[in-house]
Structure 1
Amino acid sequence: MFLRRVLPDNFTLCLIVTVIAASLLPCRGTTANVFEILTDMAIALLFFMHGAKLSREAVISGLTNWRLHLTVLASTFVLFPLLGLLLKPVLSPLVTPALYAGILFLCTLPSTVQSSIAFTSIAHGNISAAVCAASASSLIGIVITPLVVGLLLEVHGQGGMSWHAVGDIVLQLFVPFVAGQVAQRWIGGWVQRHRPLVGLIDQGSILLVVYTAFSAAVLQGLWKQLPLPVMGGLLIVNAVLLAIALLATRYGARALGFDREDEITIVFCGSKKSLASGVPMAKVLFPAHALGMIVLPLMLFHQMQLMTCAVLARRYAERAGVKKRDVPVTTEAPAD
């Protein structure tokens, strides 16, 4: 049981293997072009399936708790970007400028869906509100993330995001998502009955993006630019951001007068960042040679948040008098 708690989940192991494969056998030339086409198709399918499986009834049922949803959105799209900017003088010396651009990108991303709901359930929080808050964050992020990324990178001195990039996000991500919502009437039941297959599509698309991203980055000399001290610095930066977000959501929820169940929802929905949404967005927003540096902070943050939130969920459950049990550290990808 101890090993189950500390070892990475299967999807994280697949990510590691994919990065190793890209490092040893990077795709190039015609092969790279084929992978680019496959990746674009997989991303469109990914967001189509997201739209098809997102229950409008569940979202509508949780909309009444508007204070909670605004708090989660404020943490996701206001607190995190401000932390990325305000902590730059302290944290940026620990990493390279390219990696810190990846940190800023991470700060703009929406919350997870699957794992936020799962941890809220384990900790006995407000599950219906978690479904609504996480789903709304994911949907709003399609529009908000590229805009905030452009603003942060302009302040960071790396140039803003063009309206062309925003248009690409709308075309490649939002349009398939809306198409999935429209098709939900006919295929929603099938999607719910075949969740493992949908999970494979989600994970497969992310692995494709990671492979193509790291292939291009390796050919540009990625690992020569990442000595061990820089990797250690990146872990510290991620840990600081996650710790501040967890503390801010917990004590902020209490200061705003939320009850225990709503506090749990705010903590698990407002402190996390989506790998499943972030990797495809990075593919659309950034040039291929920069993707490796951009998504690396997110990949590390992904695993750190899952392991940390698993511990917090157990503690919340134990404090509520719930019988202690093992909490699996699962990936968000199948449903995020």
Structure 2
Amino acid sequence: MGKLRTLIDPYLLLLIGTIGLAALFPAHGSGVAVADAAVTVAVALLFFLYGARLAPQAIWQGMAHWRLQLLVFLSTFLLFPLIGLAVVHTIGGFVAPDIAVGLLFLCVLPSTVQSSIAFTSIARGNVPAALCSASLSNLVGVALTPVLTALLLPTSASGGFSPHALESIAMQILLPFAAGQVARPFIGNWLARYKKMVGYVDRGSILLVVYAAFSAGMVAGVWTRLAPIDLLIVLVLNLVILALVIAATTFASRKLGFSTEDEITIVFCGSKKSMASGIPMATILFAGHAVSLIVLPLMLFHQAQLFVCATLARRYAARPEA
């Protein structure tokens, strides 16, 4: 069955350490320009590697199970945004405006790849369908997330689809991702062979983006507007959103007659949100805003989904063999 090492995510400790570093030694003066340039390169590299690793053939093979894929897609890009809109509308002025924007942004992100597949495997679900679903979600999310962001978020927060925003999305997300897909036949095997090293590049890039975002937040003084109770409120709201999605996907899976293996895939792939994609996207989509506050709900949701899904995976795995 394998050991579950997801209850305490070591990467979360690195993220917390990076935030602490930004708080103690934020970038000033010329250091800001250097950090911004490094983030631009890191985000482009991240999406290039993402494109190079996603196998289109795995997506097309899994599309044969179209009912499952459609349900996961609707959960990720329709149910989540609707719940996010309802939650933000309900809480009103209880959280800072940037936190509210962050909650909505969280809800329009694609699913995770690694943890969705890992939890599906642990729970003895339909792993090939999970691979297809998570890959398809990220492939579509590269283009769909910016569109949903522009449609659902206030113009003052998202910046709308200005020429500069479109250029940033194209140059830092779409173009590198497409280049990675083109380069995949040539470097795909090499990336698979050095998977651990590529993982370090992935995670290191995200840490760099987090440092730049929280450093800018410290210099601008945005954290003075956030009280400890705000963190607790955000965590509770995250858990409410996650619980509603898990309940809805479980109910729909059983109502529509899916097998237990397919239900596991639908629940795990349809209830996750990708921090790996979300934090780099936020730096582009919310340039000029308090990105550190906007990505805070996503960072808390990341840990919450690991705790909850680890518990669910254990329960599914404990069922009798068919």
Is the deviation greater in 227-236 or in 287-296? Answer: 287-296
Does the Cα contact within 8 Å between 2:103 and 2:297 map onto a contact in 1? yes
CA distance in structure 2 between the aligned counterparts of 1:321 and 1:222, rounded to whole angstroms: 53
Distance verdict in 2 for CA 1:135–1:5, change over 3 Å: closer
| SS of residue paired to 1:87 | helix
Distance 2:318 2:11 in 1: 28
Check conservation: 1:147, 1:161, Cα contact below 8 A: no
- For 1:124 and 1:24, the matched residues in 2 are separated by 45
How far did 1:256 drift? 1.7
Q: Supply the distance in 2 between the matched residues of 1:301 and 1:79 (Cα, whole angstroms).
A: 16
For 2:203 and 2:290, how far apart are their aligned partners in 1?
22
Runs of 4+ in structure 1 deviating by more than 4 angstroms, as ranges, are 2-6, 157-160
Match of residue 144 from structure 1 = 144
Match of 2:161 in 1: 162
Q: How far is the alpha carbon of 1:289 from its aligned partner?
A: 4.2
Instruction: Find the counterpart in structure 1 of residue 18 from structure 2.
Output: 18
Q: Structure 1: which amino acid aligns with 2:131?
A: V
The secondary structure found in structure 1 opposite 2:112 is: coil
CA distance in 1, matches of 2:321, 2:259: 17
For 1:89 and 1:41, locate their aligned partners in 2 and report how far apart those are by CA, in whole Å.
36
Please name the residue that 1:226 is paired with: 226
**Partner SS, residue 319 of structure 1:** coil
- Residue 89 of structure 1 and its aligned partner are, at CA, apart by 3.4
**Structure 1 residue identity aligned to 2:161:** S
Give 1:103's aligned residue: 103
Q: What TM-score does the superposition give when structure 2 sets the normalisation length?
A: 0.94
CA 1:307–1:30 in structure 2 vs 1: closer, same or farther (change >3 Å)? same
Aligned length: 319
- The answer on whether the counterparts of 2:149 and 2:158 sit within 8 Å (CA) in structure 1 is no
> Which residue number corresponds to residue 334 of structure 1?
none
1:192 corresponds to 2:217: no
User: How far apart, CA to CA, are the structure 1 residues paired with 2:5 and 2:200?
Assistant: 22
Give the SS at the match of 1:299. Answer: helix
Residue 235 of structure 1 corresponds to which residue in structure 2? 235
User: 1:141, 1:166 → 2: CA distance?
Assistant: 15
Cα pair distance change 1:3/1:60, threshold 3 Å: closer
* Higher mean C-alpha displacement, 91-100 vs 305-314: 91-100
5+ long unaligned stretches in structure 2? none
- Contact between 2:142 and 2:173, CA under 8 Å: does it hold in 1? yes
SS of residue paired to 2:272: coil
Greater Cα shift, 46-55 or 88-97: 88-97
Match of 2:279 in 1: 279
Aligned-partner SS, 1:61: helix
Residue 267 of structure 2 corresponds to 267
Q: Is the 8 A contact 1:191 1:198 kept in 2?
A: yes
Is the contact made by 1:220 and 1:289 (CA closer than 8 Å) also made in structure 2? no
Partner SS state of residue 125, structure 1: coil
Where does 1:1-336 land on structure 2 (aligned, <5 Å)?
6=7, 8-154=8-154, 158=157, 161-164=160-163, 165-321=165-321
Tell me if the contact between 1:279 and 1:295 (Cα under 8 Å) persists in the aligned partners: yes
Per the TM alignment, residue 168 of structure 1 is displaced from its structure 2 partner at its CA by: 2.0
Counterparts of 1:294 and 1:86, CA distance in 2: 18
Amino acid at match of 2:18: T
SS at match of 2:64: coil
**TM-score, structure 1 length as denominator?**
0.90
Provide the C-alpha distance between the structure 2 equivalents of 1:163 and 1:269, rounded to a whole number of angstroms: 32
SS at match of 1:142: helix
Q: 1:256 to 1:283 in 2, by over 3 A?
A: same
Post-superposition offset of 1:80: 0.8
Indicate the larger mover: 257-266 or 88-97.
Answer: 88-97
- What is the RMSD computed on CA atoms of the aligned residues? 1.9
